[in-house]
Structure 1
Amino acid sequence: MTQQRGNRRELLAEAAIEVLAKEGGRGLTHRAIDRAARVPEGTTKNYYPNRSALFEAIAHYLAERHTAALEELCDQIPEDLRPEEVTALYAAMLRRMSGSAQTQFLALFELHLEGVRNPEVRKMLGEISRANVDTAVRLHSAVGRRISVRGAGLLDAGMLGVALATLSLPDDLVGELGFGDPEATSRALLTLARARGESSLEVLRDSAS
């Protein structure tokens, strides 16, 4: 019975993410989630009695899975990792945020808006950001480069902002700003982030990587 209940919560959380990404915060209702999850009407409300509980459930679900994925990534960092592979990794992240993981990213953005008013959601967003920062520091350390916590935070915010701009701005402006090139954008963000922990000469020397 416990396992079934756990599965039901996961099913509702995944359906809620789909609804939040598609309909936005205003469209996140118990009935909409029931329909998306294909469960009897009233099921979601039994688990999450109000909208705050819905947002918090989504935040916990995304934070738990995101931090677990980054822990696995850090545990598997190869000893021969190269700087260009770090750049490629961040470029792949940008592509996913506006591509295959677009639903999760849009839900994450809606959570950021909710986090302004909801302390529990803000706490979970903090866990996601902290995991991103720690991962950036560990990846840079693995290739012998320095990046400060502040620099890693700027990188995290920059990735979030670029992905949002790519999805929300007109295509011609996205192209003009260069955001349609994940590799070049990632290289620029990484260069700016490392500027917080390295001298200007070191950053310029490494920026081509």
Structure 2
Amino acid sequence: MPQRSNRRELLADAAIEVLAREGGRGLTHRAIDREAEVPEGTTKNYYPTRSALFLAIAHYLAAQHTAALEGLRSQIPADVTGEDITALYAAMLRRMSTSARSQFLALFELHLEAVRNPEVRAALADITKANVDTAVQLHAAVDRRMSRRGAGLLDAGMLGVALSMLSLPDDLVEELGFDDADGLARALLTLGSVRDGSAIGVLRDFAS
């Protein structure tokens, strides 16, 4: 386990790994202690209940994600192109199922928890808002209009595709084209950019 600057960060990273690997039922104080390689009882001292554990993970992921996207929005190159944006979203899809697999599996578990936990729901809302703000600003940078509604549709599509990539058998993922990150990113970006009345046509073209 890598060294962390503070104990809460160490426990949060360990909790993400446990949640991703074991699911909600396996998220226990002892499991996190073992993952973080800290004395038994450490996690419980910081987060006394399971609800506190879920909320801590949600806040930690939201803080990391929103900070990363704020950095991205502040450094959009003046010469950015539409193809650059497509490549960025394709890279995000690949990352969801590779280097950031644990974070996204934990995120899906948090979405399930949020159905019953309003505090977790609020933290996830911060993630979605950051995604929406970023999509709108990126498209404005290349003189393309994307409404917040369209950006929300893009965000939901990205999550849905990532969930399919992570949960379906490999042969079905390949058959459905869910292993084509570039094509998926292009289709999702197009769908998010069109006006409401044109969405059916975009879906028809993608399905053909």
**Equivalence map 1:140-151=2 (5 Å):** 140-151=139-150
Post-superposition offset of 1:10: 0.7
The equivalent of 1:115 in structure 2 is 114
Amino acid at match of 2:116: R
The equivalent of 1:87 in structure 2 is 86
* Equivalent position SS for 2:104: helix
2-structure distance, mates of 1:197, 1:156: 16
Find out whether 1:70 has 2:65 as its counterpart.
no
**Equivalence map 1:53-64=2 (5 Å):** 53-64=52-63
Find out whether 1:51 has 2:50 as its counterpart.
yes
* Equivalent position SS for 1:120: helix
Post-superposition offset of 1:196: 3.2
% identical aligned pairs: 75
The equivalent of 1:35 in structure 2 is 34
Amino acid at match of 2:173: V
TM-score, normalised via structure 1 length? 0.91
Post-superposition offset of 1:171: 1.2
Post-superposition offset of 1:136: 0.2
2-structure distance, mates of 1:148, 1:90: 17
Map Cα deviations across residues 179-202 of structure 1 (whole Å, 9 max, x no partner). 1000000000011111137968xx
Map Cα deviations across residues 67-123 of structure 1 (whole Å, 9 max, x no partner). 000000000001110000000000000000001000100000000000001111000
* Equivalent position SS for 1:44: helix
TM-score, normalised via structure 2 length? 0.92
2-structure distance, mates of 1:114, 1:125: 11
The equivalent of 1:195 in structure 2 is 194
**Alignment gaps of 5+ in structure 1:** 1-5
2-structure distance, mates of 1:184, 1:190: 10
Find out whether 1:133 has 2:160 as its counterpart.
no
Post-superposition offset of 1:30: 0.2
1-structure distance, mates of 2:172, 2:149: 29
Post-superposition offset of 1:173: 1.2
2-structure distance, mates of 1:175, 1:148: 31
2-structure distance, mates of 1:77, 1:198: 30
State whether residues 150 and 196 of structure 1, in contact with CA within 8 Å, keep that contact through their aligned partners in structure 2.
no
1-structure distance, mates of 2:54, 2:15: 9
Amino acid at match of 1:147: M
Report runs of 4+ in structure 1 exceeding 2 Å deviation.
Answer: 196-200
**What is the number of residues matched between the two proteins?**
199
The equivalent of 1:180 in structure 2 is 179
The equivalent of 1:3 in structure 2 is none
- Kindly report the root-mean-square deviation, in angstroms, between the aligned alpha carbons of the 2 structures: 1.9
Post-superposition offset of 1:52: 0.2
Post-superposition offset of 1:176: 1.4
2-structure distance, mates of 1:37, 1:174: 34
Post-superposition offset of 1:172: 1.4
Cα distance change of structure 1 residues 197 and 133 upon mapping to structure 2, 3 Å threshold:
farther
